[in-house]
Amino acid sequence: MSQDDLKGRLDSESRRLFLQRSTALAGMVALGGGSYVLNPKGAWAADPIKIGIATDLTGAIGYAGIPNLNVAKMVVEEINAAGGLIGRPLKIFAEDTASNEQLAVTRVRKLVTQDKVDVVFGGITSSMRNAIKDTIVNRGKTLYIYPQLYEGLECTKYLYCTGPTPAQQCDTFIPWLIKNGGKKFFLPSADYVWPHELNKYARKVIEKSGGEVVDEVYFPVDHNEYSAVVSKIMSSGTNVVFNTTIPPGTPVFFKQLFEAGFQKKGGRLACVYYDENALNITPANEIEGLASCLDYFKAVNDAYGNKLQEKYTKLYGTKNPFTAGSASTGMWRGINLWAEAVKTAKSVKRDDVATALDHAKLADGPGGPCEVVPGTWHVKMPMYIAVAKSGKYEIIEKSSGLVDPRECVKT
Amino acid sequence: MSAVPFFFDILAYSAIFVLVVLGLGIIASMMGIFNFAHGEFVLLGAFTVYMFQQKGIPTWVGMIAAPFVVAIVGLILERIAIRRFYTAPIVAMLGTYAIALALREAVRALLGGRFHNVDAPLAGSFVLGEVSISQWRSAVIVITAIVMVLCWLLLTRTKFGLQMRAALENPALARASGISVNRVYATTFAFGSALAGLAGGLMVPMYSISADMGVPFLIKSFLAVMLGGMGSFEGSIAGAALVGASSAALPWAIKPVVADLLVFVIAIVIVKFRPEGLLSTWRK
């Protein structure tokens, strides 16, 4: 080994050490300030591409934000290990938006103005997306990718939604519910934007498919007493309860419904955000037969998803699992689609990436392939109907091919 | 026939509400402290039961342990922090709010931010013809009634109750009469905390545990105490029964979102005409 070689190796060693230490320091800073910087492993000649992750690591939505950041870290490490993108490594700038919209705006402003990230992924709730999108897209002139299933109607240039839309969650699901439950639907809901908009769409599909909506009832988001609505459901001969109430109310509602004997009398419970995380909310027997429709379940048992689950669990344990309802799949798709777009565009400039992203496709992923529908900022993906049986999901139906998001289409 | 579930549900919800308000009312009326951490004491009670279940111990054992565990936590907090607030009620509100945040976020971290169900010691329902009635809710109604009577006996028929009331009415005179006001306050706070712990333990099978489970109860509990009138134990219970019953009953008639608001409107109107509290004339 020549002297130069040795020197080169030492340099890279000390650089690696430096990087390791700075990563550790970033971690420590994160504990205090809610900001993380995760440097790419190894030594890179080129400047890193900066990825902003703005998600709720603490507070009420932390159960989804934590796996979101985990997924981002995992995918970014995979990309870096494969040589980065266009010869550059990816560096994560993560901000904890703490389930608090006001705070989030400040944090996101830091990402776009101070850290000057090339793209922002994140936001779980619609209120969070609405709070931060202007700062990112309009004032920050940065690309924004939103990963969670949501109520649709977000047609903003440079804002891509990689989670399922109402059409994807309802179009095959509701006809299935009519066939496997009955025609009379009851829509108990929490009083905020997602249930209102989802119900509007669901009602259309229910009526078009020959069903009827008995009633649509909205509760304050922290409501926890449902006897009146349960009694109405029981006395109206409702066949399907299409639930959009959210915790902390949901377990109380489901328990009261179960105790009133809804399922015993042949009723079908349906809830489109129910994933593996949600199974713990109530005892298994109280939601026996609950049907959900999402882009991925562990029970899909696909080779890609299984491999990903195995790797994720090895890295992060089982405390914050990779599930569809917590936007993990949306985050996975978001970063990978964006990476494809960067490869195609050979650039990280917003317009170049957006043009390429409009036609981005992934040949495989958890649940199956997906592709962006050009000009709509939404993603086509396969959807699955699953039913809870003894505390586990069983996949009942898989969509034939990719389901259209049906958003932002000019009619 | 639908009258049975109607009255049962109102009674069941009011019972839970009374349990939550009992502890808050005792601390507020006996000590003049508005304990913003009360919802988190309820949460700690629930968390104790959850921990017992995780360790494979039957939940009813956890429910018996919950009041004691929370009483100890309450006692420690009283000794460390709360006792410094007795002369400054506004600081007390902020201080207890800070304690609430710390407790809530600690539990959130321990629960991984998610919801977990806890089994009821009595699962299932009594079926009366067309109507089924939850066994556990029935049990909670009975336990609440017993706890209410015991509290009332404790406050009115025991030496400790007398000391407690004396220390509230006139701390200086109580001290002069040889009552350790400090100790009485600490015990009262621990007792109020224990009641919150019991409430949390009993309600967790119905509500599932999550870090935010105490939050929805807090504001309405204060409303109940305000309705009942400060300084009156019976008043707090009457206030709790009224708030609980109207919260459960109104959604049968009107939209739940409006009902929630109406509960507050009704309460404010009542306070306007009875500023001394619901039972003020009855007490005189």
Cβ contacts of A277 on chain B, cutoff 8 Å:
114
Whether B172 is in a domain gets the answer yes
**A contacts of B252 (beta carbons < 8 Å):** 227-228, 231
Is the CB of B112 inside 8 Å of chain A's CB atoms? Answer: yes
pLDDT above 60 for A3:
no
**Are A259 and B9 an interchain contact pair (Cβ–Cβ within 8 Å)?**
no
Q: Residue A288: its chain B contacts at CB < 8 A?
A: none
- Please give the Cα distance from A290 to A253 (Å, whole number): 13
CB contact under 8 A, B206 and A255: yes
Within A294-327, residue ranges assigned H as helices are 303-316
Q: Using one digit for the tens of pLDDT, what is the confidence trace for A250-301? A: 999 999 899 888 999 999 999 999 999 898 888 899 999 999 999 999 999 9
Residue A131: CB atoms within 10 A of its CB come to 19
CA distance, residue A299 to nearest chain B CA (Å)? 21
Interface test with A, best of B14, B18, B110, B208 (most A CBs within 10 A): B208
Q: Is residue B59 part of a domain?
A: yes
* pLDDT, averaged across chain A: 91
Contact check, Cβ <8 Å, B119/A319:
no
Cβ contact, residue pair A63, B114, below 8 Å? yes
Beta strands, E only, chain B: 125-128, 131-134
- Would an 8 Å CB–CB cutoff place B182 in contact with chain A? no
Closest approach of A142 to chain B, Cα-based (Å): 31
Partner residue facing A252 (CB), from B105, B206, B260: B206
> B12 contacts in A (CB within 8 Å)?
227
Q: How far is A285 from chain B (nearest CA, A)?
A: 11
Query: Which residues of chain B neighbour A252 with C-beta distances below 8 Å?
Result: 206-208
Mutate to test the interface with A, among B115, B118, B125 (most CBs of A within 10 A): B115
Name the residue of chain A whose CA is nearest to B136's CA. Answer: A259
For residue A221, give how far its alpha carbon lies from the nearest alpha carbon of chain B (Å): 9
| pLDDT score for A346 | 96
Helix (H) or strand (E) holding A394: strand A392-398
- Chain A residue numbers with beta carbons less than 8 Å from the beta carbon of B206 are 252, 255
CB contact under 8 A, A58 and B105: yes
- Specify which residues A242 forms β-bridges with: A270
User: Is the CB of B215 less than 8 angstroms away from the CB of A66?
Assistant: no
Contact A53, A92 (CB under 8 A): yes
C-alpha distances out from residue A380 to A338, A360, A374, Å = 15, 11, 10
Residue B229 located in a structural domain: no
What's the total number of domains in chain B? 1
Does the residue B275 lie in any domain?
Answer: no
For residue A77, give every residue at least 6 positions away whose Cβ sits within 8 Å of its Cβ, in sequence order, or none: A41
- Please indicate whether, in this complex, the C-beta atoms of A229 and B251 are within 8 angstroms of each other: yes
**Phi first, then psi: what are they for B89, rounded to 5°?**
-60, -35
> Between chains, do B5 and A223 touch, taking CB under 8 Å as contact?
no
Please report the pLDDT score of residue A10 as a whole number: 47
What pLDDT band is residue B131 in, cutting at 50, 70 and 90? Answer: confident
Tens of pLDDT along B217-237?
888 898 888 888 776 778 888
- In this structure, the dihedral spanned by the alpha carbons of residues A171, A173, A174 and A178, taken in order and rounded to 10 degrees, is 140
Lowest mean pLDDT across A153-157, B233-237, B252-256 = B233-237
- pLDDT for res A31: 43
- How far apart are alpha carbons A20 and A399 in whole angstroms? 45
For the stretch A109-132, pLDDT in tens is 999 999 999 999 999 999 999 999
* Alpha helices, DSSP H, located in A34-85: 62-81
pLDDT, mean of residues A364-373: 96
> Do residue A247 and residue B208 have CB atoms under 8 angstroms apart?
yes
Question: Is the CB of B13 less than 8 angstroms away from the CB of A283?
Answer: no
Interface check B210 vs A, CB under 8 A:
yes
Name every chain A residue with its beta carbon within 8 A of the beta carbon of B116: 280-281
Q: Are A176 and A148 in contact (CB under 8 A)?
A: no
- pLDDT tens track for B38-81: 999 999 999 999 999 999 999 999 999 999 999 999 999 999 99
The pLDDT assigned to A13 comes to: 54
In the predicted structure, residue A178 carries a pLDDT above the cut 80: yes
Q: Is residue B177 one of the residues assigned to a domain?
A: yes
Distance between start and end Cα atoms, chain B: 41
Task: Name which of A63, A256, A281 is nearest B117 (Cβ-Cβ).
Answer: A281
Contact with chain A for residue B56, Cβ under 8 A: no
Q: With an 8 Å Cβ cutoff, are B207 and A283 in contact?
A: no
Residues whose CB is less than 8 angstroms from the CB of residue B116 and which lie 6 or more positions away in sequence, other chains included: A280, A281, B50, B208, B209, B210
Q: Is residue B142 part of a domain?
A: yes
| pLDDT band for position B270 (cuts 50, 70, 90) | confident
Residue A229 pLDDT exceeds 80 = yes
How much is the average pLDDT of B194-205? 95
pLDDT digits (tens, 9 = 90+) for A324-348: 999 999 999 999 999 999 999 999 9
Closest-CA residue of B relative to A232 is: B252
Q: Which residue has the tokens 């804002």?
A: A159
3-state class (DSSP) for residue A175 = helix
The answer on pLDDT for A30 being more than 70 is no
Q: Which residues of A touch B251 (CB under 8 A)?
A: 219, 225, 227-229
Q: Do A60 and B114 touch (CB under 8 A)?
A: no
Distance in Å, alpha carbon of A248 to nearest chain B alpha carbon:
7
The answer to whether residue B28 scores a pLDDT higher than 60 is: yes
Largest CA distance in chain A: 87
As given in the structure block, the two tokens for residue B272 are 């306007």
By the CB < 8 Å criterion, does B134 face chain A? Answer: yes
Q: Does A259 contact B248 at a Cβ distance shorter than 8 Å?
A: no
Shortest distance between the Cα of A229 and any Cα of chain B, in A, equals 7
Length of chain B: 284
Question: Is residue B284 over pLDDT 50?
Answer: no
Partner-chain contact B117 A227, CB within 8 Å: no
Chain A touched by B42 (CB under 8 Å): no
Cβ neighbors of A2 (< 8 A, separation 6 or more) are none
Q: From B65, B56, B107, select the one nearest B213 (Cα to Cα).
A: B107
Residue A28 pLDDT exceeds 50: no
Q: Which domain holds residue B135?
A: 12-212
Q: Which residues of A touch B10 (CB under 8 A)?
A: 227
A217, A236, A255, A265, best to mutate vs chain B, most B CBs in 10 Å: A255
* 3-class secondary-structure state, position A243: coil
List beta partners, residue B134. B125
**B134: nearest CB among A259, A282, A320:** A259
B103 assigned to some structural domain:
yes
For B57, list phi and psi in degrees, rounded to 5.
-90, 140
Give the ipTM of the model, two decimals please.
0.85
Higher pLDDT, A7 or B51: B51
For residue A245, list chain B residues with Cβ-Cβ distance below 8 A. none
Structural Rg of chain B based on CA atoms: 19
Asked if residue B124 is part of any domain, the answer here is: yes
* pLDDT recorded at residue A1: 44
- Of all residues in chain B, the one with the smallest CA distance to A215 is B255
Which comes out higher in pLDDT, residue A10 or B141? B141
- Residues of A within 8 A of B134 (CB-CB) are 255-256, 259
The rounded percent of chain A whose pLDDT value lies above 90 is 78
pLDDT in tens, B158-174: 998 898 888 878 888 98
Q: How many angstroms away from the CA of B257 is the closest CA of chain A?
A: 5
Confidence of residue A354 (pLDDT cuts 50, 70, 90): very high
CB-based contact, B105 to chain A, within 8 Å: yes
